[in-house]
Amino acid sequence: MKQVWADFKLRPLWRKICDILLLLFAAAGFAIIAAWALYQLGVTNNKGAVDKNNRYLMSVAEIENMPSSTLTTEQTNALWSITMARLAAFGRYYPVNARLILRAALAADNPLLVERMVAATGVYIDDNSPCDRLADRLEATVNEVPLPQTYTNVIPWMNTPEWAALKVAIASDSALINEAGRLTGVEPRLIVGCLVGEQIRLFNSKREMFKKYLGPVKVLSVQSQFSYGVNGIKDFTAEAVEQHLQDPTSEYYMGRGYEHLLDFETDDHVTERYNRLVDYRNHLYSYIYTGCILHQTMLQWRRAGYDISDRPDVLFTLFNVGFSQSVPKPDPQCGGSHIEVDGRVYTFGALGFDFYYSGELADVFPFCEKRFVAKDEALTRDEIERIQASMSDCARPVRGLEYRVDSAPAQPQGYPAEPKDPYGIDPDDPSRSTPHHSF
């Protein structure tokens, strides 16, 4: 070995480099051949093992094999009651996981998903744990109660055909209502609460019209006598809303960002206001006026020291009775017009309140973190013109017809499909002239 080393040192540099490279290549080749041999012999194979939690995984698999699509409505409702009881117990001990499971199950609208997800957590929970025992007790308690013969909404008026038709009509206007909410800084669901109260009143006061027109085609009723539009807004109330927007000294003033929200295109404000509200094809203005009434009333009370932003029932009531009866006080109450629905009497505020917290139409009108949003940035000219251009050219009854003794109520001229965009403007319509704004 010493002789090899001595010979190596006597070699020239280039020869030393070649010898080193040769040795490295030889070593690499040996390593590759050795690895291949070990692989072929199966030395590196990982045979695996049965997971110690296999029985929990098998439990989830068994639930997976239960097709939720084959369950009847009665079976699904019964399963929801049991799974909710078990989830309540699970949430007592593991609230973070329970919230995640509930959200996922509701989004999927599948009670079996709750069972699958809870079963999957069994990997980390001991058998016969306090959580399991509580879940078993709650399930036993639920099973003691006999299943109802029919499943109905706990809110009686929501079981009527009027509501079944109305909620379809409201959903078809969701783009307009959500846009009005954005423009007025009001949660759209509050605007819908006012709409529900007014439309339920109309549906039940004009049952024959509902059967003939509104029910079959599922459209909103537009008023053109005494009160205007889908929300039944009085002419003098709409005028007051416009004045409040422009008056910084008013207790109803919404701020600089809203001053030009209802600017007119013409000098004939009375006629233009009527045309805005009595629009059978596009209800955006009706919803904007409604949002402004809610926002202005809330600000009036807040400035007087009473915050009613968390009282939808009071807001709906004040919308119904008008600015003249909006008197801030420490103990506001729900009320308003009395409306009879299917033999039961409700107040306007109660109908709106029922809808607001019912969860109905929450997919298109979700609950917002804030019901009212302040806005300081003024509307641009383009935004103002776009709002003004939303007004359709549909035929309207002559304004003031209700005051003529020999006149008969005018019927709506037709109900078009949902507008192409939130404003219902067709950019390809050559008949629409460029609107003009006023400041």
Whether residue 277 contacts residue 286, with contact meaning beta carbons closer than 8 Å, is answered with: yes
**CA distances from residue 260 to 181, 255, 306, 362, 383 in whole angstroms, order as listed:** 16, 10, 27, 31, 10
DSSP annotation of 347: E
Whether residue 341 contacts residue 334, with contact meaning beta carbons closer than 8 Å, is answered with: no
pLDDT tens figures, 358-383 = 999 999 999 999 999 998 888 999 99
pLDDT band at residue 431 using 50, 70 and 90 as cut-offs: very low
Residue 244 has pLDDT above 90, yes or no: yes
Mean pLDDT value across residues 272-287: 95
pLDDT band at residue 427 using 50, 70 and 90 as cut-offs: very low
Ramachandran quadrant class, 400 (left: phi over 0; alpha: psi -120 to 50; beta: rest): left
pLDDT tens figures, 154-171 = 999 999 888 998 999 999
d(CA 354, CA 159): 13
Both tokens of 218, joined, read 């599922």
Residue 408 has pLDDT above 50, yes or no: no
Higher pLDDT, 109 or 209: 109
Among 213, 378, 380, 190, smallest CA distance to 287 is for 190
Whether residue 204 contacts residue 282, with contact meaning beta carbons closer than 8 Å, is answered with: no
CA gyration radius, the chain: 35
The predicted pLDDT at position 428 comes to 43
d(CA 376, CA 359): 32
Residue 393 CB contacts under 8 Å (≥ 6 apart), including other chains: 431
Residue 62 has pLDDT above 70, yes or no: no
Q: Any idea which of 13-17, 111-115, 198-202 has the lowest mean pLDDT?
A: 13-17
Residue 63 has pLDDT above 90, yes or no: no
Residue 409 has pLDDT above 50, yes or no: no
Ramachandran quadrant class, 322 (left: phi over 0; alpha: psi -120 to 50; beta: rest): left
pLDDT tens figures, 289-310 = 999 999 999 999 999 999 999 9
Residue 48 has pLDDT above 60, yes or no: no
Burial 100-122 (b: 16+ CB within 10 A, else e): ebbeebeeeebbbbbbbbbbbbb
The predicted pLDDT at position 418 comes to 43
Mean pLDDT over the full length of the chain: 81
Mean pLDDT value across residues 42-68: 48
Mean pLDDT value across residues 139-144: 88
Identify which of 28-42, 104-118, 255-269 has the greatest average pLDDT: 255-269
Mean pLDDT value across residues 256-278: 95
**Percentage of the chain with pLDDT > 90?**
48
pLDDT tens figures, 167-191 = 999 999 999 999 999 999 999 999 9
